[in-house]
Chains A and B, each alone.
Chain A
Amino acid sequence: MSDDSRRLKPVDVVVVGGGWAGSIMAKEMTEAGRTVVMLERGPDRSTAGEGAYPASIDELEGNFRYKLFQDLSKNTVTIRNNASQTALPYRRMAAFLPGEGVGGAGLHWSGVHFRMPPDDLRLRSRVIEKYGAKFIPEGMNLQDYGVTYEELEPFFDKAEKVFGTSGEAYKVNGQVVGQGNVFAPSRSDHFPLPPLKDVYTAHLFRKAAEEVGFHPYSLPAANASQQYTNPYGVQMGPCNFCGYCSGYACYMYSKASPNVNILPVLRRHPLFELRANCHVLRVERDSTGTRATGVTYTDADGKVVTQPAEMVILTAFQFHNVRLMLLSGIGKPYDPVRNEGVVGRNFVYQNVTTSVVWLDPKVETNQYIGAGGGGVAFDDFNSENFDHGPLGFVGGSPVWVNQAGVKAIAAAHSGGPPGTPRWGSAWKAGMIDTYRHSLRIDAHGANMAYRDVYLDLDPTWKDAYGQPLLRMTFDWKDNDIRMNRYVVDKIGNVAKAMGARNVHLTRREFGKPFDTRQYQTTHLGGGAVMGTDPQTSALNRYMQSWDVHNVFVIGANAFPQGTGYNPTGMVAALAYWAAHHIRTTYLAHPGPLAG
C-alpha cells in the first residue's frame, strides 16, 4: 500500500465494477445485512440521463462515438496474434466494445439472455465420453466448469425473473409445454414473459428452417415483451422494436439493465454506497498474502484511496478482472511455455460470422426495426446437439436471425454485396437494395481454449495510472475454423428455402489471422476460469480465488472455454450461484469453500 493513500472507514464488502455481476452481488450482500461499497471507474448513468428521448437515439453518438463505452485513452489492452509478435495497443474501438460507467456492459448490451447448455458446462467430460480423449486436438485446453446445469438451474431461473426475460419454454419440470428450443434442458418454470413477436425476417427464417428440417425457436430476450414488475418491485416498459438497444440506454425501460432492474432498489438501501469515477488499482493483501484487506483506487479527484473490506468481489468486465488479479498478485500467472499457472489461461473469444441473404425486390425486410435480444434461432449444430465424430472438430454454433435494428450509418457502412463499388451510384444502388431487401444470418459459434492463446501483462505499455496494460495473445485455430465452415454451409440450405435471390455466405478462412479492425463481438471470456483443479483454474466452482479466500471473481472470465451462446445469462446465474454459497456458508465460516 502506498504511504500517501488515505484509508477509509472499513466496510464488509467492496464490489469492483457496477455492471450486472456487481449489482447482483451488491444486492445479495445487502440482503445478507452486509455493508457494501461499489466502485465503478466510469460515470454514474441512468435511463433518465443517457436514455432521454429523442437525444438518446443518436446512432452517431451511440455506436460511432461510443458514448457508453470504455475510454481507451486511459486504459486499453495490447493485442498480438502470437508470441512471436510485439503487441500494440487497441486504440480505436472495433473488434470488441467494452463498456464503462454504472450499468457497465449491462447498459449497452442487446439483451440476448441464454442459459448455458448442460453439455457445455462439462464439455471435456462429454467429448471424452462420446469420442474418446484422443479426439481433443493437440494444444486445446478443454475443461469442465465444475458446476452442473442442475445446480445452476435455480439461479438461471432467478436471473430470468429479475431481468424480465421473454421467451418460450420447451420443457418445464420434464414436461413438454411449448414451442421452445427442443435442445434446451428442462426448466423449473416458464419464462417470466412470453416471447417477443417475430420481426418479418425472423418469421421467414423460422419457416425456412422448419422446411429444411431444423428446429427453430424464439431467442430468449431480456427485452420485455410486456410491461413487467420483477421480484425486486422494479418495473419495465414493453419493447416497441425501435431497435436502439445495443449501444444505447433503452428509453422504453424495456431492455433489462442493472440500472433499471436492480439499482433502483439498491440505491435506496441504507447499507449500500455507490462511488462512481473510482478506478481500482489493486486488491490489497495482508502479510501472508492469503487474505485480502481491501482495495486501493484513484477517486474522482485523482486521489489514491484505500478502502478496507472484509471481502473483495471483482465484478469488472472479463479482461479487467483478469488484469486486476495479475496486478494484485492473486493466483499464479499463466506461463504458456510450460502450460502452467492459471491467471491469463484459457482466454477465449466467440466465433461469429454473419452471412447475408437477398430476397426478391418485392420483399421489404424493414431492417430498421428490431429488438436486441429478439429473433429466431436453431440449435441443431450447437453444443453436443449433433454428432461431431465424423466431423473432427470440437464445439458448435447456434444459427439465428437476430435483427436488432440496422440503422442508417451502419447500413451505409455495410454497403452492397461483395464486389459492389465503395462509392458512386452503383454503391448507392447496392446499399439501398441491401438495406431494403436483405437479411442477416449469424453463425454464433464457440471458440475453444488453446495453450498459446492467453492474457498477461504487457512488458512495454502502461495505462494513464502507470500500470501495465493487459496483453492479449489471440488467433483463430483450425478446429474453430472447420466448425464455422461446417455450420455456415447449413445457412446456405436455409437461404435457398427462403427463396434467396443472392446469398453471401461468410466463412472463416484458414490462415486468415484475427483482425482487430472488424467488429466481431464483445463476448470475451476466460482468463481466470472456474473449475475443480487449482492447477487448471484460478477460481473454484464457487467463483472464489483458490489462493485468497475472501476474493470472489464474477464474470465471463470464469468460462473455461467459449460457448455458442451470449454470456450474460450465464454470468448472472454464476453471480447468484456464488452469492448463494457466500450467504449460506461463507459468511458464517469464512474460508475456502472447496478444498
Chain B
Amino acid sequence: MRGVWKSGLRSLVVALLVASVPGVGQSARAQDAPAPADLVTRGEYVAEAADCGACHTVPGGAPFAGGMAFHLPTGTLYAPNITPDVKAGIGQYSEAEFIRAIRQGIRRDGATLYPAMPYPSYARMTDDDLHALYAYFMHGVRPVSTPVVQDGMHWPLSMRWPLTVWRRLFAPDPAVTLQGATARTFPDPVVARGAYLVEGPGHCGACHTPRAVTMQEKALTAEDGPLYLSGGASVDGWRPVSLRGENRTGLGRWSEQDIVRFLATGRMPLGAAFGGMTDAINHGTQHMTADDQLAIARYLKTLSPTTPAKAPGWAYDPAATTALRAGDVSARGARHYVDSCAACHRTDGRGYPTTFPPLAGNPVVMDPTPDSLIRIVLEGNTLRATRQAPSAFVMPGFAARMDDAAVADTVSFIRAAWGNDAPAVNAADVARIRRSLSPEHPPVSLPMN
C-alpha cells in the first residue's frame, strides 16, 4: 500500500507541476460600474493574468476548449473544456459555483478538482477579478461542444475522495486568505499590486515554490517565509529556478527592468525563457500592462535570498575563455562545447544577448539541480515570438548526436566555466532526464521565421 501511495503521490506532484505554469496579471482598478463589454475585456485580462490558456488551450486548438494532456506514470490527465458550452463546458455554472471552483477547487457537482488547478493561489483573487473573469468566460469565449475527455487516471488517483481530504488539509480558506491579504502592509502600492499578481492569479509558486512530501506548496506567500518562490521540483526535466534574491541561482543580478523585459519578451541580456515559462509568457505575462509587469518585478526584488550566500557573488572568470581560444580543450567537456555549443554561446560563454543567451553567470546553469540544462541540451528549445519580440529562435536538440556521457561532460563544462560554480553531473543524471522526455517532441508547430 505504501508503495502504491508513494507512486500515486509522485504522480500527483507531477500533475500539480505540469499543469500549473505561472503567469500573472489583472486589469485596471475596477471602475464604478463597468459596462458589460468593459467587464468582459477586463475578464479577458484576468484570464491572461491567471494564465488559464496555458493549460486549457491546446496549441492550435479553440481557446479554452481543453484537452491538453498531462502524461503521468499512473495515467493521463486532461485539462477540461472551460468554454461556456452548456454540455461540454462550464455553461451551467452560476457565478458562485464558478468562483467556488476557482478559489476552492470544488466542481459544480461537488467533486474536488485535481490540484493541477492552482486553487490554493487563486483563493486570494479578488471578488472584482473573479466577477470579471466569469463575465469573460460566459460572454467573451466562444462555446465549443467538444466533449470532455474522460480523465485517464488509474486507481487510486482515479478516485476523487483522497483529493477532497487533501484539499481540506492544504488548500487555504478563501475568506481567511483575503482577510490576510487585506491586512498586509507593503512599502508601496506597486509592490502590493505585484504581490497580488504573483501570489494570486499568477500562481507563480505552483512551479517555483518547493512542495512538501504531501505535495502542498511549502509557502503560499512571501509572509510564509523564505521558501516561497525559492525554486520548485523538476517537472519532466524542467527545474523551476528560484525567483528570490540569490546572487548566483536566483534573480539577485536581475534588475527590475530585466524582469520586465523578460516577462514581455521572454528574453533579456542575462537569459531567455524555456520550458513551462514559455507558455506562461505566451499566454500570460506578455499581455500584461507595463505597470503590472513592473509591479511583479518590484515585488520579486523584495524577496531576500533563501539562505545567506556561501560563495561570493558571481564574477566573470576568463580562464576557460583563454584556454579555449588557445586551443586548449583538455578540460572535461571542453571539446564538445567548442564543437556543438560555441557557435552561438561563444567560447567566452557570453552568447549574443538577446538572441542567443549567455551561459556565463546564468542562474539556470548554476542551479544546484542540473535538470533544465541537461534537458535543453538533449531536446533543444524554442524561444517563442511575443508581441514585442516577433522573432523566434530555435536551439537544436543534441539527443541524437550525443550519448549520456558526452552530454554530462558538456553540461559539467558549462557549469564550471567563466566563474560558474555548480557541481559536475554524471551520465546517470542525463539518462534519467533522457528517459523522461516526451515522445511528442519536437513541438508540433515550428516557428515560421
Contact = CB atoms under 8 A, between A and B. Distances in A.
B272 to A, nearest CB: 11
Nearest to B449: A264
A253 B392 CA distance: 10
Contacts of B382: 48
Interface stretch (A49-57, A341-349, A476-484): A49-57
A270 B382 CA distance: 24
Contact of B447 (A46, A53, A232, A235): A46
Q: Is the interface of A mostly helix, strand, loop or mixed?
A: loop
Contacts of B343: 240, 242, 252
A46 B391 contact: no
B393 A54 contact: no
A237 B352 contact: yes
A265 interface: yes
Most buried by B among A240, A253, A259: A253
Contacts of B393: 235, 237, 253
Interface in B343-383: 343-344, 352-356, 382
Interface residues of B, number: 22
A106 to B, nearest CB: 13
A63 to B, nearest CB: 21
Nearest to B356: A237
Nearest to A260: B449
B355 A237 contact: yes
A53 B343 CA distance: 12
Contacts of B385: 264, 268
A311 interface: no
Contacts of B447: 46, 48
B388 interface: yes
B355 A264 contact: no
Given A237-B355, A252-B344, A253-B393, A46 B449 contact: yes
B213 interface: no
A389 interface: no
Contact of B448 (A233, A235, A267): A267
A225 to B, nearest CB: 11
Given A227-B355, A253-B393, A233 B446 contact: no
Interface of B: 343-344, 352-356, 382, 385, 388-394, 396, 401, 446-449
B392 A49 contact: no
Contacts of B401: 54
A506 interface: no
A47 interface: yes
B344 A234 contact: no
A248 to B, nearest CB: 15
A237 B344 contact: yes
Nearest to B382: A48
A55 to B, nearest CB: 9
Contacts of B390: 232-234, 264-265, 268
A44 B355 CA distance: 24
Contacts of B388: 233
A264 B396 contact: no
A47 B394 contact: yes
B344 A46 contact: no
Given A52-B394, A227-B353, A264-B448, 9 more contacts: A48-B394, A54-B401, A227-B355, A233-B389, A235-B389, A236-B355, A238-B355, A259-B448, A259-B449
Closest 9 CB pairs of A and B: A48-B446, A264-B449, A235-B391, A264-B390, A227-B352, A46-B448, A227-B355, A48-B394, A53-B396
A505 B84 CA distance: 76
A472 B446 CA distance: 40
Contacts of A263: 448-449
A264 B449 CA distance: 6
Given A227-B352, A264-B448, A264-B449, A253 B391 contact: yes
Contacts of B344: 237, 240, 252
Contacts of A237: 344, 352, 355-356, 393
Contact of A235 (B355, B394, B446): B355
Nearest to B393: A253
Interface of A: 44, 46-49, 52-54, 226-227, 232-238, 240, 242, 251-253, 259-260, 263-265, 267-268
Contacts of A47: 394, 449
A265 B356 CA distance: 20
Given A237-B356, A242-B343, A49 B446 contact: yes
Contact of A54 (B352, B392, B396, B448): B396
A233 B392 CA distance: 12
A258 to B, nearest CB: 10
A43 to B, nearest CB: 12
Contacts of A227: 352-356
Contacts of B392: 48, 264
Nearest to A257: B449
Given A48-B447, A48-B449, A252-B343, A238 B391 contact: no
B64 to A, nearest CB: 21
A263 B344 CA distance: 23
Contacts of A236: 355
Contacts of A267: 448
Contacts of A235: 354-355, 389, 391, 393
A238 to B, nearest CB: 5
A87 to B, nearest CB: 39
Nearest to A238: B352
A240 B351 CA distance: 12
Most interface-central of A46, A235, A236, A259 (chain B CB within 10 A): A235
A264 B446 contact: no
A267 B356 CA distance: 23
A280 B447 CA distance: 27
A242 B343 CA distance: 9
A385 B394 CA distance: 45
22 contacts: A48-B394, A48-B446, A48-B448, A49-B446, A54-B401, A226-B352, A227-B352, A234-B391, A235-B389, A235-B391, A236-B355, A237-B344, A237-B356, A237-B393, A253-B355, A263-B448, A263-B449, A264-B448, A265-B390, A267-B448, A268-B385, A268-B390
A237 to B, nearest CB: 5
Contacts of A260: 391, 449
B326 to A, nearest CB: 19
Nearest to A261: B449
A47 B343 CA distance: 17
B7 to A, nearest CB: 37
B237 to A, nearest CB: 21
B391 A264 contact: yes
A314 to B, nearest CB: 24
Q: Which of B394, B446, B448 has the most CB of A within 10 A?
A: B448
A260 B391 CA distance: 8
B282 to A, nearest CB: 13
B376 to A, nearest CB: 15
A252 B345 CA distance: 11
Contacts of A265: 390
Nearest to A259: B449
A227 B353 CA distance: 8
Contacts of A238: 352, 355
Give the one of A48, A54, A226, A268 with max B CB within 10 A.
A48
A53 B344 CA distance: 12
Given A54-B396, A264-B392, A265-B390, A234 B449 contact: yes
B342 to A, nearest CB: 9
Nearest to B383: A235
A196 to B, nearest CB: 15
A243 to B, nearest CB: 12
Which of B356, B389, B391 has the most chain A CB atoms closer than 10 A to its own CB? B391
A53 B395 CA distance: 8
B194 to A, nearest CB: 27
Contacts of A240: 343-344
A38 to B, nearest CB: 13
A460 to B, nearest CB: 40
Contacts of A234: 390-391, 449
Contacts of A253: 355, 391, 393, 449
